[in-house]
Amino acid sequence: MNILHHRRLIVSIFLIVTLLGIFLPGFLLHHTFETDLDTIQAVPENQYNSPNSAMARNASAKLSEYEQIKLIAGTWDSNRIPVNSSEANISEMQAVELAKTAVEELYKTGGYPYHFQPEYDNWYSWSTQCFQCTENTFNTYTAYCYLVTFYRYNSDEYHDVLITENGALLGIRNNCPNEYEDDHPYFWKYSINNYIKSRYVSDNIPVTLLKVTDTVKLPTYESLSTEDTLTENSQTADSQNSSVADHIDNLYTDKSSEVFLVVRGYSGNPSYNDILKMTNSTIPENIEIYYLYRYTTPENFVITFIPWE
């Protein structure tokens, strides 16, 4: 009798456990689902994008390449800070590949004697730094740029390459100035003219390269500045720094230094004087003007492509 009772008890317990295993999870899930429907939880702060942030991203996406470069250069009053690459629209690896491509395009036209595509005896390591440039008036527009530095594997040679997120080359600085002592300026003008035309071949906007014949004070990017160039985001030389003024004056007598204007959107064949006259008044919105220059110092060779204004 006791044995039969124990068996019935065991079978009953087994049935109860089996039924609970079948129905209890569904009951708990249903209860949790109903509870969650009646509960409103705050979005975690790290997942929250404010309306201002969304508006800024939308507005920034509508900037032209020229407007983005104005933000990066400081032609538009802007604040430039280093940021993590996750805040930009492209990754570090994408920035490195864009930098390689941008320099290779210049290399193919003869405008730069180096490239960074991997091949025999041409191996470089690299590092990157991403910068966020935001206009200071309303903090509405933001542009990002990358400074990609290539290091040659078997020497202390390095090349700083500044590019936009779209891969537009803004400038190069290296520590190999002696490589350019015998470079003829007329050859570089021919090479850089081919580069400019190939850079804008797809947009059907007229582009003209003009030699600058006056002594001017040149703007520069902070990321590419040297002791002999201008101060951060400045269109004028520091009058208290005589080495700056002296170097700018020598840009036009040193055979390894050249300064040009790149003019986009001007119909016909403008002369340098035509552009000077136009810049004395309001420049039409459809016209873009850049300085394109190169120079050497005892330590560096620099090429810069920067808005004129």
What does 227-242 look like in DSSP terms, one character per residue? TTSPPTT-SS--TT-H
What's this model's pTM, rounded to 2 decimal places?
A: 0.75
Q: Percent of the chain, pLDDT > 70?
A: 70
- Radius of gyration for the chain, computed over Cα atoms and rounded to the nearest angstrom: 30
Tokens coding 130? 């991403």
Instruction: Tell whether the model's pLDDT for residue 27 goes beyond 90.
Output: no
pLDDT > 90: percent of the chain: 35
The per-residue DSSP string of 37-72 comes to HT---PPPGGG---HHHHHHHHHHHT--HHHHHHHH
pLDDT at residue 240 in the model: 29
Q: Write the CB contacts of 183 (distance below 8 Å, at least 6 apart in sequence).
A: 256
What confidence score (pLDDT) does residue 278 get?
86
pLDDT digits (tens, 9 = 90+) for 58-117: 778 888 999 999 999 988 888 999 999 999 999 999 999 999 999 999 999 999 999 998
Report yes or no: 124 and 103 within 8 Å, Cβ to Cβ. no
Q: Where are the alpha helices (DSSP H) in the chain?
A: 2-37, 51-61, 65-73, 92-108, 185-199, 242-250, 272-279
Lowest-confidence segment of 16-20, 115-119, 265-269 by average pLDDT: 16-20
Q: What would the mean pLDDT of 177-184 be, rounded to a whole number? A: 64
Local confidence band at 309 (pLDDT 50, 70, 90 cut-offs): confident
Contact 100, 172 (CB under 8 A): no
| Better pLDDT: 45 or 300 | 300
Residue 47 CB-half CA count within 13 A: 4
* Burial of residue 63 (number of CB atoms within 10 Å: 0-12, 13-18, 19+): middle
pLDDT surpasses 50 at 239: no
User: Given pLDDT bands bounded at 50, 70 and 90, which one contains residue 224?
Assistant: confident
CA distance 196 to 203: 12
pLDDT at position 161 is: 97
Beta pairing class for 207-211 and 258-264: antiparallel
Hey, what amino acid is at 210? Answer: L
pLDDT confidence bin for 29, thresholds 50/70/90: low
**Confidence band for 253, pLDDT divided at 50, 70 and 90:** very low
Weakest mean pLDDT among 207-221, 233-247, 276-290: 233-247
Residue 212 and residue 202: Cα distance in Å, rounded?
A: 26
Residue 265's region, left for phi above 0, alpha for psi from -120 to 50, else beta, is left
The answer to whether residue 281 scores a pLDDT higher than 70 is yes
Q: What is the dihedral of CA 207, 65, 166, 201, to 10 degrees?
A: -20
Reported confidence tier of residue 251, pLDDT bands at 50, 70, 90? very low
**Which H/E stretch holds residue 128?**
strand 124-135
Q: Provide the pLDDT for residue 276.
A: 86
Lowest mean pLDDT among 25-29, 88-92, 275-279: 25-29
User: Of 184 and 83, which is predicted with more confidence?
Assistant: 83
CA 172, 173, 174, 177 dihedral sign is: positive
Q: Residue 56's pLDDT is what? A: 62
Q: What's the one-letter identity of residue 11?
A: V
pLDDT of residue 306: 93
Cα separation, 70 vs 130, in Å, equals 17
Please give the average per-residue pLDDT across 176-197, as a whole number.
77
Q: What are phi and psi of 142, to 5 degrees?
A: -135, 140
How many Cβ atoms from other residues are within 10 Å of residue 232's Cβ? 11
- Across all residues in the chain, what is the average pLDDT? 78
Q: How many helices (H) and strands (E) does the chain have?
A: 7, 9
User: Would you give the DSSP letter of residue 83?
Assistant: E
Helix (H, G, I), strand (E, B) or coil at 8: helix
- pLDDT value for 231: 31
